Structure 1
Amino acid sequence: MDIHKVKLIDGQIALAADVRRKLDLHIGDTVLFDVREGEVRIRSARSMLRKIQAQLQGCPPGGGLDSEALSIEHRAKGKPE
């Protein structure tokens, strides 16, 4: 576990430079706070985007049902579109 002490200044959290480097944070970056059971997990929006992109790598483009395929499926089941 890598614990760092931070300061709350005028309602803002000030992260030390070494923490910002470890998180690859830069001035103006968007930061996401995940609050669970009294704890906070901080990550950059960029890292979250990378994680989502990695998860989508295995999905074929257009792999979901498009509206036409959904309409055909509903008609086959006798449902209104």
Structure 2
Amino acid sequence: MQSQRVKVVEGGKLVIPAAFRRAMGIAPGDTVIVELDEGELRVRSLSSAIRRVQERMRELNPDGRILSEELIADRRAEAARE
């Protein structure tokens, strides 16, 4: 893992080195996800965080069912029974 020393400045701000920003695809004004994990601060681009969630959802739904359609069908069946 690549590392670089940076300083925390006024207001708790730190500067992400340019090479890191380029590698992560982060531009000025972008939103990032910051996590504290076992004493480590982790920064991810929003697109990276979304990809990770999408991958996790695919793992939980390997056959690609459209769960929202199943939920709607269940609700309609319940309404028809009432």
Normalised by the length of structure 1, the TM-score is 0.68
How far is the alpha carbon of 1:71 from its aligned partner?
A: 7.5
Query: Which residues of structure 1 form unaligned runs of 5+?
Result: 74-81
How far is the alpha carbon of 1:53 from its aligned partner?
A: 2.9
SS of residue in 2 equivalent to 1:66: helix
Q: Which residue of 2 aligns with 1:48?
A: 49
How far is the alpha carbon of 1:42 from its aligned partner?
A: 0.9
Structure 1: 4+ residue segments shifted above 6 A: none
Q: Structure 1 counterpart of 2:5, which letter?
A: K
Matches within 5 A, 1:18-57: 18-56=19-57
Alignment: residue pair count:
76
Q: Which residue of 2 aligns with 1:66?
A: 71
Tell me if structure 2 keeps the 8 A contact 1:4–1:19.
no
Distance of 2:5 and 2:34 partners within structure 1: 16
Q: CA RMSD in A?
A: 2.8
Percent identity of the aligned residues?
A: 29
- Which whole-Å deviations, capped at 9, do the CAs of 1:27-72 have from their partners, x for residues lacking one? 0111111101111111011111122234445432x32541551585
Query: Which residues of structure 2 form unaligned runs of 5+?
Result: none
Normalised by the length of structure 2, the TM-score is 0.67
Q: Which residue of 2 aligns with 1:17?
A: 18
- Which whole-Å deviations, capped at 9, do the CAs of 1:6-43 have from their partners, x for residues lacking one? 22121111111111111111001111111011111110
The structure where helix makes up a greater share of residues is 2
Q: Structure 1 counterpart of 2:71, which letter?
A: D
